[in-house]
Amino acid sequence: MFHKEGQRIILITFFATAALALGAEYYVGTPWLRIGLQVLALVVLVLILQFFRNPKRPVVPSFDEILAPVDGKVVVIEQTEESEYFKGLRLQISIFMSPVNVHVTRYPASGVVTYSKYHPGKYLVAWHPKSSTENERTTVVVRTPKFGEILFRQIAGAMARRIVNYAEKGDSVQQGEDSGFIKFGSRVDVLLPVDCIPTVKLNQKVKGAVTCIATLPHPSDGE
């Protein structure tokens, strides 16, 4: 399955690949150059196809877990001041996506969207400390039954030039459903209440809608 955001570019790339392969076959006389151009065109098509893949991941929603919103590697686990919406201390878990990762963004929890905003900005590398506040990004807040309000932020990277966000204020959303897409390299920050317990480690690879990244504290933890 391929994501709907890639349909146009997949079609364009397919026809461009076919045209280049046929053109090379009939108009390039040097064998090594002809084959090289055809292989290059095929490699580009394969890369585009793998980038826009959208594997189906059935989820049994759990109000007690926050799932990774994207595939990638955990690059930040820390408490931080969130200045856009909460204006207070939150637990931040950030996931970096390389161009080879699935770039579908999925809702990390079920609930109701209470805030959704797009911010134009720069295109610093996604792991830059200021990328969360200065890069092109979208911010979505979901009110959940047990965690209260949680925030996740799509952040464009140096290669990304378009963020797609489907969340609209008032939407009822289900954990694991598509919430958007980021094209060509990016990062997603998840900001949770500070008493949440991270269930992942730095540099751990996670899968969107599969890996649990945080849970609620156990009642006995406060005793």
Report which of 169, 187, 161, 149 is spatially closest to residue 71, judged by C-alpha positions: 187
Give me the catalytic one of 62, 132, 186, 220: 186
Kindly give, in sequence order, each residue whose CB lies less than 8 Å from that of residue 37, ignoring residues fewer than 6 positions away: 20, 21, 24, 28
> Is residue 94 flagged as an active site residue?
no
Cα–chain-centroid distance for residue 91?
A: 19
Question: Would you tell me the crossing angle of helices 7-27 and 31-51 to the nearest 10 degrees?
Answer: 170
Q: Which helix (H) or strand (E) holds 37?
A: helix 31-51
CA angle 193, 74, 213 (to 5 degrees): 45
Could you tell me where the beta strands, DSSP code E, fall in the chain? 65-67, 72-82, 88-97, 104-106, 111-119, 137-144, 148-156, 163-165, 172-173, 178-182, 186-192, 197-198, 205-206, 212-215
Cα radius of gyration rounded to whole Å, the chain: 20
Catalytic positions, written as ranges: 186
